[in-house]
Amino acid sequence: MLRLQVAMLALGLMVAPSTIESYPSYVSLIPNGGEVPDTPNLGHLDPAGETGTSVFGEAFSKASNVWGPALCQEDTDGDGYTNGQELGDPCCTWTESNPAGLITDGLGDPSDGSKLPTNSKLLAGCSSEGAGTTGSGGRDDVVGKVAPGGPMVGPTNGPKTGPINGGMPPDDDEDDASESAVITAGTAVTALSSVTMGLTMIVAFALAW
């Protein structure tokens, strides 16, 4: 009986750190994942991740833990600003391999409607060339939404009626999902290896008791 109690206690001590340490693995999968002010564990309701996921965490999970255009343009906390605006990626172009253009200050919290972005570039949304101008072909800033980022439909010398690609900026990395999957899988394998090693030590200890 004593051996069983010791084994269960040791198993608990081995598994708990692996569970907690798995949360930081998601930080690199989200733009500014660890930089949101007063939000030590983005996507969870508490720093340790023990009381469940936030609305953004649920949306991130539904997106297979991949930051893509759909999740970026979603407004998970209903405050009028997209997740991309709140996390410094208003045009939804950020990838792990290409973080160029990421805004790192004045961020909001996509899980808390009271924590809005304060950076003027984030508040303005995604601005394309000619934004804020008037005349043929001009495009204005869009607050709370991603502005058109692709070529416009219309005659060469006439007014443009809308983006050909639905307003999405071009995808500069077609392997985002697979790269994220590899990172996530690697983290899972590391955690599993840690647990396996712990179980082996527990069995050896129990037999030698």
**Under DSSP, is residue 163 helix (H, G, I), strand (E, B) or coil?**
strand
Per residue in 4-42, pLDDT tens?
554 555 545 444 443 334 466 788 999 999 899 988 888
Nearest 5°: CA angle at 178, between 176 and 181? Answer: 110
Domain ranges of the chain: 1-23+176-209, 31-173
- How high is the pLDDT of residue 162? 43
Q: How far is CA 39 from the centre of its chain?
A: 13
Q: In angstroms, how far apart are the furthest CA atoms of the chain?
A: 86
Question: What number is the average pLDDT over the span 108-135?
Answer: 77
CA distance 126 to 92: 8
Bridge partners of 163?
152
Band of pLDDT at residue 1, cut at 50, 70 and 90:
low
Rounded to two decimals, what is the model's pTM?
0.55
CA distance 57 to 92: 18
